[in-house]
Structure 1
Amino acid sequence: MSISSHQETRIHELVYQIQSRNIEALKNSVTPELHEKIVTEPKYLEQLCSLLPEAKSLKNKELISTSERILDRDDRSFEVLYKLSYPTDLVYLQIKFSKNNKRSLVDDIQISKVAKSKA
C-alpha cells in the first residue's frame, strides 16, 4: 500500500498551513469536523504548531508506515506516519485521511516530538 501523490501534496500543504497558522487555508486540507475543532479549540492548533518546528519544506522526511482500516463501506481510513528529522528534534507526524470523501481530506493529525540526545 502506498501513498498517492495527491495525499503527499495534501500533507505538504497541511504542514505549511499549520506552521503559518493559516486557519482559513486549513479548510481546504481537513474535514469540516477537524476544521471546526481547530477553530473552536485554539489550544489544539497551538499544540500542533509548538510540536512542529519551523521549516519551509519536508525534504528531511522518512515515510515509516502506511495502513488502511476498513470497518464497513462507510468507515474507512488511511493512515500515514512520517519521521521528520531536525537538528535538535525528531518529530513523528501521523496523518489520517478519511476515505469516505473524494478529496483526500485529513480527519486527524497527531504529532509527537522526541528530543535527540547529544551524541
Structure 2
Amino acid sequence: MRKHQELSLEQIIEQMRVNKLSSDDFCLYAKEDGELALARSYWVSDYPDVVEDRDVYPTEVAEQNLQLIYYGEQLLDVLTVALEEKPDASLQDLVDALNYYNQHDNFMPFSD
C-alpha cells in the first residue's frame, strides 16, 4: 500500500481485497480514536520508530497530531481471517471485524 496519503477505510479494504496485499509495512492514523468507519479517512504512513523505549512517530503524523489507529500487520491479519471465515463478507462485516478486534483483542466469530 502506498504510504503518506489519506484514504477512506473503504479504499483501504478494497486495496487489500483487490491487490491481495501482502506487505503490512504501514500503519493507519487519525485525528481521533474510536470505532473505525467506512467513510472516515485515515492517514497511511510508516510504523513508529522505537527510540530509547519510546515511540517516535513519522513527522507528518506528529505535525498533524494524529493518533495510531491500527498497525498494518494487525489490520491485514484481521481482514484475512474474516475473509477466510466469511468469503462473501460485506465491507461493513469487515469493519465490524476490525472494531471487534480493537475492543476484544480477538478475532470476531462469524456465525453461519
When normalised by structure 2's length, the TM-score is: 0.32
The structure richer in helix per residue is: 2
Whose relative contact order is higher, 1 or 2, with alpha carbons under 8 Å and at least 6 apart?
Answer: 2
When normalised by structure 1's length, the TM-score is: 0.30
